Each structure stands twice: as structure tokens, then as C-alpha cells.
């Protein structure tokens, strides 16, 4: 891990729209410029879907957009089911150990993105544990105490904690991002990819087309570079 004095500017910011539950939202997010589309397989989440719905939603995504299956401590049966879907990337958002991450990656043959929750500087040491086994990292805010799910809680962490830092793997920034603050978050952290869910919704799992487009536009604006 290294730190630079200032974040690098990125001409193109990649955006992940997560928690998709409707075909029309999949198509709109892709048309608006999303690089990743996220589907949640975690029943406590109001955005959770089943395998049959996921098949339909993933098939609605155009070629070239990365279809991401979000799981939390998945068992082997779910991992096998996700492998049989047209999944491009597995997102592990639970307490999976580095060994479990490596096992899932090996048995599916799919790239894996490991989410790591940040609350303070001490949490940054967790990132190094997963760099050797994950293909990508998702740097997210730690959930508040008592939360029933590890992400999608609409809270952020102090972005200055990772300002100018670089890791060996590609990474996405998540946690409390909105159309109003994403450009500032990118400016402070140097992130070249961001993840959003609840702030672009009109209801849990129902994406608002104007908010989705506004988020992608703000992330990719000159202000973010």
C-alpha cells in the first residue's frame, strides 16, 4: 500500500448501480452509462431477489456491462447457483475470510470483489488481508451497530482516511454516496469507480431514473476529475 500527496485525476469514472430489482431500471442504468449493475442475494435486504428473477434481470443487461452478484457469507449452494447465472463478478459483503474468498474464486472461476467496511484508520489494515485473494476491493462504510445488513445503509465514512492511497487491486468507493456528494468524494479519495444504491431510489429497490442519471453525470463530471 502506498500513499500519494494528492489523488490522481481520472478522465472516466466507472459507476456501479446496485440493488436492481426491475428490468426497466436495469435498462435505464445501462443506458445512462453504468459500468456495473448489482443484484442482491441477501434476504434481509429490501432489494433482495431470487435466482429466477436474477436470470431475467441479468439477461436484460447489455453486453459490456458487468453483472455483479452481491452476497453475504454465501453457502456453497448459493455460490453454485450464482455460477450458473450469467454473472460476471461476485461481490462478497460479509465476514468471509481470505481463505473463503480464495475458495469461492477457485470453485466458480469468476472474479471476486471483497467489500471492506471502514469506520476509522484501524480498519484500513483489513484491506491488505484481501489484496492477495480478491480481484477487486469495495471500500465501504461500516454499518451502524444493530444494522441488519452490511451495506446499503446510506452512511459514509471519513473519506480523508483514504485520500491519496493506492492498493494493488482495482477498487470502488461506496457508502453514503449521492448525486450531490459523489464528485467531492471522488476528488478527495481519487477513486475511479463508485457504487450507489439507496440514494438513487424512490423506494427500496425502485430506482429513480432522474436520480440515477444525475449520479452518473455527477460522478463523470469535470468536477470529479
Active-site residue, 107 included: no
Residue 182 — φ and ψ, nearest 5°?
-65, -35
- Distance from C-alpha of 172 to C-alpha of 89, rounded to nearest angstrom: 13
- Distance from C-alpha of 155 to C-alpha of 26, rounded to nearest angstrom: 24
Contact 219, 183 (CB under 8 A): yes
- Distance from C-alpha of 82 to C-alpha of 67, rounded to nearest angstrom: 11
Active-site residue, 140 included: yes
Choose, from 18, 25, 192, 195, the residue flagged as catalytic. Answer: 18
Residue closest to 124 by CA, chosen among 160, 177, 74:
160
- Distance from C-alpha of 114 to C-alpha of 118, rounded to nearest angstrom: 13
Unique residue bearing C-alpha cell 463478478: 89
Choose, from 25, 140, 192, 195, the residue flagged as catalytic. Answer: 140
Q: Work out whether strand 165-166 and strand 2-3 pair parallel, antiparallel, or are unpaired.
A: antiparallel
Active-site positions read 18, 140
Amino acid at each position: 500500500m502506498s500513499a500519494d500527496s494528492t489523488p490522481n485525476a481520472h478522465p472516466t469514472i466507472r459507476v456501479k448501480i446496485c440493488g436492481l430489482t426491475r428490468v426497466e431500471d436495469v435498462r435505464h442504468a445501462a443506458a445512462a452509462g453504468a459500468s456495473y449493475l448489482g443484484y442482491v442475494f441477501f434476504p434481509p435486504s429490501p432489494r433482495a431477489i431470487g435466482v429466477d428473477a436474477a436470470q431475467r434481470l441479468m439477461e436484460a443487461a447489455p453486453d459490456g456491462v458487468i453483472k455483479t452478484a452481491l452476497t453475504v457469507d454465501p453457502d456453497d449452494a448459493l455460490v453454485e447457483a450464482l455460477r450458473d447465472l450469467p454473472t460476471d463478478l461476485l461481490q462478497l459483503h460479509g465476514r468471509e475470510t481470505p481463505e473463503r474468498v480464495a475458495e469461492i474464486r477457485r470453485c466458480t472461476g469468476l472474479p471476486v470483489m471483497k467489500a471492506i467496511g471502514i469506520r476509522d484508520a484501524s480498519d484500513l489494515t483489513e484491506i491488505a488481508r484481501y489484496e492477495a485473494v480478491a480481484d477487486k476491493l469495495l471500500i465501504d462504510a461500516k454499518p451502524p451497530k444493530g444494522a441488519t445488513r452490511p451495506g446499503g445503509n446510506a452512511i459514509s465514512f471519513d473519506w480523508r482516511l483514504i485520500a491519496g492511497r493506492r492498493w494493488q487491486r482495482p477498487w470502488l468507493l461506496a457508502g453514503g454516496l449521492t448525486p450531490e456528494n459523489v464528485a467531492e468524494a471522488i476528488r478527495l479519495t481519487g477513486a475511479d469507480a463508485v457504487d450507489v444504491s439507496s440514494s438513487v431510489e424512490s423506494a427500496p429497490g425502485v430506482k429513480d431514473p432522474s436520480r440515477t442519471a444525475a449520479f452518473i453525470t455527477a460522478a463523470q463530471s469535470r468536477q470529479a476529475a
